[in-house]
Structure 1
Amino acid sequence: MAQSVQAHPWPPGAATGIGSLPGTDPGEAVRLVLGEVPDLPYLPELPERGLGADLVGRTGSLLVDLPLEWQPHGWTVASHPGRDLSRAHDQLARDLDAITELGQGLPLLKVSVCGPMTLGASIELPNLHKVLTDHGAFRDLAASLAEGVREHLADLASRLPGTALVLQVDEPSLPQVLSGRVPTPSGYGTVRSLERSIAGPALAQLLAVAAEGHRVVHCCAEDVPFDLLASSGASAIAVDADLITHADLDAVGELVESGVGLWRGVVPGVDAPISVHSARAKIQPVWSKLGFSPELLASAVVPTPSCGLAGASLGYARKAMKVLSEVGRSLLEEPA
């Protein structure tokens, strides 16, 4: 099978993390990332700090003219910014200060945000319905998110002159959103499925704020809609290697053949026995089945954890990133 070689901003043999890490110290987290995955470092997320440092709250702090507040049932659209949003802003500001201090001169930095479908499935309207249930509200959310992320990337660019930014959009709930499996707030039903004709443009609108070729979508669930992600402008797709089934191989093959990068989650996101051999074994068989040239493996595939590492111990997170870096180098030095 022939492969179209697409130039990516990250070098062949690079490895990276998904986003979250254990701990509460932004400086310590940045030092860990820069030390262990220097070829494709990322701005860490530290949800252990609590409300506002979670995936939804952190991204919610970026929304433009769409304030959120925390209610007992979750993040909710509010009439004006309040204490909860202020806390989320403050935590993100500390993260940005840490990367500004320690990341000068970086050639590349990856930044993660929650995608519009997962955000819409997580946030509620004042009437206690999910944002997804109101197409107008969802479009407003998607537009607000795109503008907020545009400003976020511009801020980072001013803090780190000369650093190329890679945008990673996290969409763990996307398969549920498309298939109508998102639970209602009451828990007694599910939200109706979101049409692809709405989901695709919402994702494309967000990805478009990043430079072409610098757009990654991460989905750590089953039934990843590879075609939708690629058609929305993703230049790489990050998935859990254990969740790629035989039925997915044709879609994955088409994706790689078109030049879209494949980021494979090959180590668990929680403490578990891991090794370079076991992680690499989750890459080689699929590559062989796809029939692509072994010499292209290190350029097309980036090893990652299966998901974020927030639920792991700090020692395991450090070991996981060491293993991933070694796996990346092994793909470069010893083609499968």
Structure 2
Amino acid sequence: MTRFAWWEDIRTTHTDLRASLAAAARRTRDVDEDVGVVPPLSLPRSAVDDGLLMETAAMGVTVGGPYLRSHARGWEVAPGKTLDMRAFLGRRHELTDIIAEVMPGTDRLMVHVTGPWTFGASVEYRGHPLCFDRPAFRDVALALGEGVREFCDAVGASVVHVHERRFAEVTSMLVGATDFETMSVDREIATNVERRFLEQMRGDYGEEGGREIILDTGCLYPELASLDSTLVVDRLDDEVARLVDSGTAVAWRVGGERSSEELAHTVMRTWKQWTFDGESPEPQIDLVAVGEDILTPNAAAELARTVRGAAALLHRN
């Protein structure tokens, strides 16, 4: 199983990309012996609403992907260049230049992106969610996958965190512009689309197997265990135990409301309560430092200290 120990899924109030990246590096750097592995360094994310959606679209633009523009309900596909996309394209280019300047060859850089189903459910095309138009959705999903791969190649990122929190909604009932307009995608079909997207991003980076992928869907469907990725979970329950027993790497989303000791004790106590069918797997549950809101630099540092401390306790015990 892939080991990460811990990483960040946060946005901060930094207005300067260089300062934001430097702060993230200070929060993430550990002595390897503390947590057992080199943790991934999350690249800065925009504090703008739906910033992750726009950043992913900006990556896709490089290979002919969609331009987006804002409207009353959120975002829609635009026929050409927009001021919204120009700002995010400029930010992407600036971040690429800064990384090349200050941290070339850094181990385990992590890029956060929006998954294809969440993108397709959140962006409109001709007045309806993009994924309602299957040919258009297919083209956009392919462009996003290639664009993310090219951006990861440019910055030397070896880990991609895919945010796909609307996966369960798409596979149950996605509501369109009105309550009378709905769609549902078979889980197997949705999983195959996700697999194609992940394979695009893996590419042939580094060692055999390509980039490491982390997938956060907000659900634990059995089909997702076949995607050869670390699955992010919201809670530690029997479904998680079955994933661990099958050899799937798991990461638990945690905030800063508990101390390092409480987080570590929760993981260890839960692990002892689980019963595994086969040989007991190596005790490994990674931790994800989740900031529900935009965090100040001090709050981000405190959250990182708490989660990093819990990962260190788990490693020693």
TM-score, L = length of structure 2: 0.84
Which of 195, 215, 220 lines up with 2:186 in the alignment?
195
The answer to whether structure 1 residue 301 and structure 2 residue 282 are counterparts is no
Determine the structure 1 residue equivalent to 2:85: 85
1:325 aligns to 2:308 (yes or no): yes
Q: Distance in 2 between matches of 1:277 and 1:229?
A: 31
Residue in structure 2 matching 1:217, options 215, 218, 226 = 215
Give the distance between the partners of 2:251 and 2:102, measured in 1 at CA. 26
Q: CA deviation at 1:309?
A: 5.1
> Following superposition of structure 1 onto structure 2, how do residues 77-226 of structure 1 map, counting pairs within 5 Å?
77-125=77-125, 127-157=126-156, 165-180=158-173, 182-186=174-178, 188-189=179-180, 191-208=182-199, 209-210=201-202, 212=209, 214-219=212-217, 221=218, 224-226=219-221
Q: CA deviation at 1:122?
A: 0.5
In structure 2, what residue type is equivalent to 1:71?
H
Q: Relative to structure 1, is the Cα distance of residues 190 and 289 closer, same or farther in structure 2, using a 3 angstrom cutoff?
A: farther
1:5-16 equivalent positions in 2, closer than 5 A: 6=1, 8=2, 10=4, 14-16=5-7
Larger relative strand fraction? 2
Which residue among 26, 45, 56 is the counterpart of 1:59? 56
Residue type at the aligned position of 2:183: R
Give the CA deviation at 1:295. 8.8
C-alpha contact (below 8 Å) 1:175/1:225 kept by paired residues: no
**Does the residue aligned with 1:88 lie in a helix, a strand or coil?**
helix
Offset at residue 192 of structure 1 (A): 1.3
Are residue 23 (structure 1) and residue 14 (structure 2) matched? yes
Q: Find the aligned partners of 1:281 and 1:117 in 2 and give their Cα distance.
A: 35
Distance 1:150 1:165, change over 3 A: same
SS at 1:237 equivalent: strand
Runs of 4 or more consecutive aligned structure 1 residues displaced over 6 Å after TM superposition: 292-295
Secondary structure in 1 matching 2:162: strand
Shift in Å at residue 227 of structure 1? 2.0
Seen in structure 2, the aligned counterparts of structure 1 residues 321 and 294 have a Cα distance that, compared at 3 Å, is farther
Candidates 262, 269, 290, aligned match of 2:250: 262
The answer to whether the 8 Å contact 2:96/2:154 transfers is no
Q: Alpha carbons of 1:195 and 1:233: their partners in 2 closer, same or farther (altered >3 Å)?
A: same
What corresponds to 1:161 in structure 2?
none
SS in structure 2 of the partner of residue 176 of structure 1: helix
Letter in 1 for 2:177: P
Report SS of the residue matched to 1:33: helix
Give the Cα–Cα distance (whole angstroms) in 1 for the partners of residues 90 and 297 of structure 2.
23
Identity value in percent: 23
> Retained in 2: the 8 A contact 1:46–1:54?
yes
Partner of 1:289: 273
Measure, in 1, the Cα distance between the counterparts of 2:266 and 2:294: 22
Letter in 2 for 1:207: L
Distance 1:230 1:108, change over 3 A: same
Per-residue displacement from partner, 1:29-51 (whole Å, max 9, x unpaired)?
22222222233233334332x36
2:26 counterpart letter in structure 1: G
State the alpha-carbon separation in 2 of the partners of residues 258 and 97 from structure 1.
41
2:240 alignment partner, one of 252, 262, 265: 252
Instruction: Deviation per CA, 1:21-71: give whole Å up to 9, x if none.
Output: 3332222222222222233233334332x36x7111111111232222222
Q: Which residue does the alignment assign to 1:3?
A: none
Unaligned runs of 5+ in 2: 30-37
Output the TM-score relative to the length of structure 1: 0.80
CA distance in 2, matches of 1:199, 1:295: 29
How many residues are matched? 297
Q: How many Å separate the matches in 2 of 1:23 and 1:190?
A: 40
